[in-house]
A and B are shown apart, each in its own frame.
Chain A
Amino acid sequence: MADVSLRKVKKQFGALDVIKGVDLDVQDGEFCVFVGPSGCGKSTLLRMIAGLEEITSGELSIGGRDMTKVGPSERGVAMVFQSYALYPHMTVAENIGFGLKMTGHSKELIAERTARAAKMLQLDALLKRKPGQLSGGQRQRVAIGRAIVRNPEVFLFDEPLSNLDAALRVQMRTELSKLHQDLKATMIYVTHDQVEAMTMADKIVVLSAGRIEQVGSPLELYHRPNNLFVAGFIGSPKMNFLKVTVAAGAGGSLNIALPGAALQLPSHGVSVEGGEMTLGLRPEHIDATGKGDVVIEATVKLAEYLGSETLFFVTLSDGSELAVKADGLAREKPGETIRLGINAKACHLFDANGLAVINGDLTR
């Protein structure tokens, strides 16, 4: 049993607050991804769980035991570094077995566990090589092997795929997911790539400026973002934001003035004061063929024909810009007029503080 829980965890470097109070529970066996823009403190938070950074205040417990002040090797965690951090002077086998050697295990046990890890990661043929003679993907596997042999309760990954090329990254992504299913260990994974987060995670933690913005499953974050930051961070291309004026209408609905059209939004029982608000629309939820509750006209400024889909970047009559994801057969060219259908059910509404008032959750 190795659930990880953080209580009011803070980190200060001198006068600088890097982690400003984090409360988080990661269940045993969960694949949890920390995601956020660079400098948001996600790596620092991971390193604090690893024991490489001191925790300024707050508590960390792993498997129910308080680990706040315990040394990194005694926490039952293993870490895979962004640069892999393999020891260049040791062979693959020595690299993998090093942790066991340091903790005083017998040679037979080290050999046995190294062999098992190597088999699992298809490194059998490479055990005698040095890291300098390996490809990026193989080095990555050795780094994972080094973590596996110690039978840790928690695996920590610090942007492990960012040094690989695109094809290899996709392959390693599935391998990591498979590894998680095989080992059933708790894994905490840091990345700035929201695609990695969406594809691998059981639970995503979105961080910004040292704070947790939202915790949830990938689809929860996609459909029900708590605030503008999460709404803009999850999803690609990112959600469109339009400054709109909202007025309460009849029957609990909201009237939203769009350029060239008026949109009626069901309030779902939420009382909304109205006034200046932000409307969020995902590019893939705007219909480029003009079907929807409301239709507005826009001018195509730029079109990217990707085959499977076409991305339009359009301007509305008031000059505001939208991205629209259309079917790959859409043929509108820059300069042409396009009719956009907007589905009221897919609209998100955020108040002046950037908090979500209404989520356009299409799953409900």
Chain B
Amino acid sequence: MTKAVSSPPGFWTKNQQKLAPWLFLAPGFLMFIIYVLVPIVQSIWISFHDWDGLGEKVWIGLGNYVELLDDDSFYTSLKNNVIWLVLYLLSIPAGLAVALFLNQTVTGIRLYKSLFFFPFVISQVVVGLMFTWFYAPDFGLFSKLIEWLTGEQVAVLADERFVTYGIIAAGLWPQTAYCMILYLTGLNNINPEQVEAARMDGAKGMKLLWFVILPQLAPATFIAMVVTVIGSLRSFDLVSIMTAGGPYGSSQVLSYFMYEQALSEYGFRMGYGAAIAVVLFLIMMVFITLFIVRMLSQERNA
């Protein structure tokens, strides 16, 4: 900046067009390097060491990764992450259904829309607490319902068979609201005359949805996919609030496993935690790369 200003007169005017974009990008680039790129490299570096966070780092090469491959908790977490990923995607059709349902002109529709969007606004911590009470044996609504239906009490969050599904159900609530908003915006952009033209062409109900509405919602579906996939992989807060990974680590996911190893009362194994983080990062990179490739190819076609 100073260089540009102090240069002989005419330099700035000559190169303004070329330099200005970089100057505007500079703050963002700087932040990105300091807070994203450098920590990624540091994490990878730490993952090759045995380190308690305070003392000397000891280089152990791939030791952390070898240990990870023998760790049952790692496989539990990985399995749970896959379940999260698959079931979390349900929020996309659910969000579309709610959006289609809410996309009409009825008095007070704005109020209904805000109410449906509400779960996305409240903190994940609060969502987790509410669902914990919902599932709670003795007084939880869900437990009462199950007891009334089957005559047996089920403590969802204390049962290894159900606990992950219970947490995912809690996560689906705000995520569905998010997808709904994305779809509502998309639906707003559809020309009502097009729907009428389709009706004149004989397209009704599911046919209308499939051939005319959904293709035009493709951008919304894409964004919903991105946020849902990434959201499912970084699921942490609900697990932490509702079960802390329990019972017996059966509801752990990679991000919580990492936190437990590196930062919780169970120990400060920074190197091991970093190795878990690197694995999670690589899994995410697969999806992010797919998304970026698709985005670029779309831009080229447009």
Contact = CB atoms under 8 A, between A and B. Distances in A.
A50 B200 contact: yes
B202 A103 contact: yes
B197 interface: yes
A78 B197 CA distance: 9
Contacts of A90: 215
A84 to B, nearest CB: 8
B212 interface: yes
A94 to B, nearest CB: 10
B152 interface: no
B217 to A, nearest CB: 10
B193 to A, nearest CB: 4
Contacts of B204: 71, 73
Nearest to A75: B200
B196 interface: yes
B193 A73 contact: no
Nearest to A77: B200
Interface in B187-213: 191, 193-194, 196-204, 207, 211-212
A50 B202 CA distance: 12
A99 interface: yes
Interface string A86-98: 1111100000001
Nearest to A74: B202
A264 interface: no
Contact of B194 (A71, A73, A85): A85
A229 interface: no
Contacts of A83: 191, 193
Contact of A89 (B191, B202, B216): B216
A77 to B, nearest CB: 8
B193 A78 contact: no
A305 interface: no
Contacts of B216: 87-89
A141 B216 CA distance: 22
A81 B198 CA distance: 11
A52 interface: yes
* B194, B198, B202, B218: residue with the most chain A Cβ atoms closer than 10 Å: B202
B193 A146 contact: no
A5 B207 CA distance: 32
A78 B200 contact: yes
B202 A102 contact: yes
A146 B194 CA distance: 12
Contact of A73 (B201, B211, B215, B218): B201
Interface in B156-194: 191, 193-194
Interface in A88-124: 88-90, 98-99, 102-103
* A79, A89, A102: residue with the most chain B Cβ atoms closer than 10 Å: A102
B212 A79 contact: no
A82 B202 contact: no
B201 A146 contact: yes
Contacts of A77: 200
Nearest to A47: B196
A334 interface: no
Interface string B209-232: 001100110100000000000000
A274 interface: no
Contacts of A71: 199, 204
A72 B194 contact: no
B202 to A, nearest CB: 4
B196 A81 contact: yes
Contacts of A150: 201
B178 to A, nearest CB: 24
B203 to A, nearest CB: 5
B193 A85 contact: yes
Contacts of A85: 191, 193-194, 196-197
Contacts of A51: 199-200
Contacts of B207: 102
B196 A52 contact: yes
Nearest to A152: B200
A336 B54 CA distance: 102
Given A87-B212, A88-B216, A81 B199 contact: no
Interface in A43-71: 50-52, 71
A36 to B, nearest CB: 20
* B193, B197, B207, B218: residue with the most chain A Cβ atoms closer than 10 Å: B197
B191 A98 contact: no
A360 B191 CA distance: 47
B202 A79 contact: no
Contacts of A78: 200
A99 B194 contact: no
Contacts of B199: 51-52, 71-73
A102 B197 contact: no
A142 to B, nearest CB: 11
Interface of A: 50-52, 71-73, 77-79, 81-83, 85-90, 98-99, 102-103, 146, 150
Given A73-B200, A102-B201, A102-B202, 11 more contacts: A51-B200, A72-B196, A73-B199, A73-B202, A81-B193, A81-B196, A86-B197, A90-B215, A98-B201, A98-B203, A102-B207
5 A-B pairs with least C-beta separation: A73-B202, A99-B201, A85-B193, A85-B197, A89-B215
Interface of B: 191, 193-194, 196-204, 207, 211-212, 215-216, 218
